[in-house]
Amino acid sequence: MTTSGERRVAGLAMIGSAACWGSATVMSRDLLVSMTSIQLLLVQLMASVCVLLALAAPRFPWTYRSREMTKGALCGVLEPGLAYVVGLAGLAQTTAGRASIISASEPVLIVLVAWVLFNQRPGLRLMAAIAIAVGGLVLVSWSPVVEDRGGAFRGDMMVVLATLFAAGYVVISSRIVGSFPAASLASGQQMVGLAFAMLVYAGAMAHGDDMGGFGAIPGGTLAYAALSGVVQYALAFWLYLIGLRYLSAGAAGLWLTLIPVFGLAGAWLWLGERPGLLTVLGAIVIVSAVVLGNRGGTE
């Protein structure tokens, strides 16, 4: 039984994680002008892993040598691995505001993934919420189609796919998060995610793709990228896993609807992005779908 104090801690942790993810999306979009998406991910994860290992000391992830810790760490292939390899590539082609809005559909996608993976069948209300959220995603992604910006549409679709990977991460992690300290589990997952990103980078370079070198990147840009990694990966995941200890995956997902609030505000103030009418309507539809779905529960 969760106490009122634990619920308060969970709520504050979730608000903090949403603020970190929303603001870091803006920072990442700003940095993608100066670096490739895979370069940015590598710098971000290296900085994040260092901070998380410091937070985890002396309970480093390898002190929990067990099958459960191995399973938990391997979730890092989903997020930050696949989710951010794909998501940052998509973010480079779309706007920070739309990416934040699309990510707000994650709570509904969590329910869908839990249904597919673990046969946790949603009720009629949740099924309706899923359909409504898909409609919201269409509105958000339709804006670049109307404006004849095919690259932005591709970017939106990549962010949708990344959000699906993130939803899978939440569903699987929620089953093991109570067994380990949040910083230990997050550091293990992100070391796996970093290894995955390194393999992607090495594979692309071996294939002849231009992934960019690090020597030409100014030191200030690298420091900015490292800071964004600490915000987006270390702080955000640490706070999220703390909240997830006291909440179900679905209840935790509801707090993610705050991400576009921070993302849109940051994109407007920092990057000068002004959301269009379809984008705003899509945001309203997605948030409404998430609220409807969470009121309905998972029965």
Six token digits for residue 283: 């945001």
Cα–Cα dist 291/286, whole Å? 9
For residues 254-269, give the mean pLDDT.
81
pLDDT digits (tens, 9 = 90+) for 43-61: 999 999 999 988 888 766 6
Q: Residue type at 149?
A: R
| Cα within 13 Å of Cα(38), Cβ side | 17
pLDDT band at 256 (very low <50, low <70, confident <90, very high): confident
Cα–Cα dist 91/134, whole Å? 19
Cα–Cα dist 110/124, whole Å? 16
Helices (H), the chain: 4-31, 37-56, 67-74, 83-91, 96-103, 106-118, 124-146, 150-173, 182-206, 219-229, 236-244, 249-255, 259-266, 277-296
- Greater confidence, 234 or 274? 234
Angle, CA 168 vertex, CA 231 and CA 51 arms, to 5°: 25
Position 153 pLDDT exceeds 50:
yes
Six token digits for residue 90: 């998509």
- The pTM (predicted TM-score) of the whole model is 0.81
Position 63 pLDDT exceeds 70:
no
pLDDT of residue 185: 86
- Greater confidence, 255 or 281? 281
pLDDT of residue 296: 52
pLDDT of residue 181: 82
Number of domains in the chain: 1
Position 64 pLDDT exceeds 70:
no
Helices 4-31 and 236-244: crossing angle, nearest 10°? Answer: 150
For residues 39-46, give the mean pLDDT.
96
pLDDT of residue 299: 42
pLDDT of residue 250: 64
pLDDT of residue 158: 94
Domain hosting 163: range is 4-296
Position 230 pLDDT exceeds 90:
yes
Position 237 pLDDT exceeds 50:
yes
Cα–Cα dist 144/102, whole Å? 14
Position 42 pLDDT exceeds 90:
yes
Q: Is-cis flag, bond preceding 61, omega within 30?
A: no
**What does pLDDT average to over the chain?**
83
pLDDT of residue 189: 93
Q: What is the DSSP string of 51-86?
A: HHHHHHTTS-GGGG-SHHHHHHHHGGGIIIIIHHHH
8-state DSSP, 297: -
Distance (Å) of CA 238 to CA 68, 162, 186, 194: 19, 20, 6, 16
Q: Residue type at 281?
A: L
- Greater confidence, 254 or 280? 280
- Greater confidence, 139 or 53? 53
User: By percentage, how much of the chain surpasses pLDDT 90?
Assistant: 33
pLDDT digits (tens, 9 = 90+) for 181-227: 878 888 899 999 999 999 999 998 888 777 677 888 999 999 999 99
Q: Is 35 helix (H, G, I), strand (E, B) or coil?
A: coil
Angle, CA 95 vertex, CA 94 and CA 100 arms, to 5°: 110
pLDDT of residue 45: 96
pLDDT of residue 23: 93
